[in-house]
Amino acid sequence: MYDENNIFAKILNSEIQCDKVYEDKDVLFFNDINPVSKIHVLGIPKVKCVNFSDFVKKTNKESVFNFFTKVEMVINLLGISENGYRIITNSGKDGGQEVPHFHIHILGGEKIGPKIR
Ligand code: AMP
């Protein structure tokens, strides 16, 4: 069940602000408020989905492809393609998910340790 009051829903509704990196009609990318690496950007689709599985089930191939194409585009925008990066999505209790709106963490700008996020 999607929580309409989660913090990313509030960012999408412009109820609270974010440090925007990229936005279009389908997606929003912004800097994490509590970065764990030099570059730590979060990417979210503008659909009400709790986690990765919910996103895949609720949308279609085109939306999933579009979202991950945008993730790749933002990685290029951040200039971290060459040196490398880590993308992560946490889901549920065991995955350590804090915010129940599907999001991808993009980590980079330095060597990322073995267990981060
Ligand atoms: P997760 O544990 O995968 O749900 O990650 C949630 C992430 O959201 C954490 O890295 C938080 O630091 C980040 N976060 C929480 N609130 C905000 C906010 N208002 N703006 C930007 N990032 C946030």
* pLDDT > 80? residue 117: no
Question: What is the whole-number distance in angstroms between the Cα of residue 99 and the centre of ligand 1?
Answer: 7
Question: What is the whole-number distance in angstroms between the Cα of residue 34 and the centre of ligand 1?
Answer: 7
Q: Best mutation site among 3, 10, 34 for ligand 1, i.e. most ligand atoms within 8 A of its Cβ? A: 34
Concerning whether 105 is annotated as a catalytic residue, the answer is no
Question: C-alpha 99: how far from its chain's center?
Answer: 11
Q: Which atom of ligand 1 is nearest to the CA of 18?
A: 20
Domain ranges of the chain: 7-108
Query: Tens digit of pLDDT for each residue in 64-112?
Result: 999 999 999 999 999 999 999 999 999 999 999 999 999 999 999 999 9
Residues with beta carbon inside 6 Å of ligand 1?
A: 7, 18, 30, 32-34, 42, 90, 96-99
| Helix/strand number for the chain, H first, E second | 4, 5
Q: Which atom of ligand 1 is nearest to the CA of 98?
A: 4
* pLDDT > 90? residue 113: no
Taking domain 7-108, whether its CATH number is 3.30.428.10 is answered by yes
List residues bridging with 42 in a β-sheet: 30, 105
* pLDDT > 90? residue 50: yes
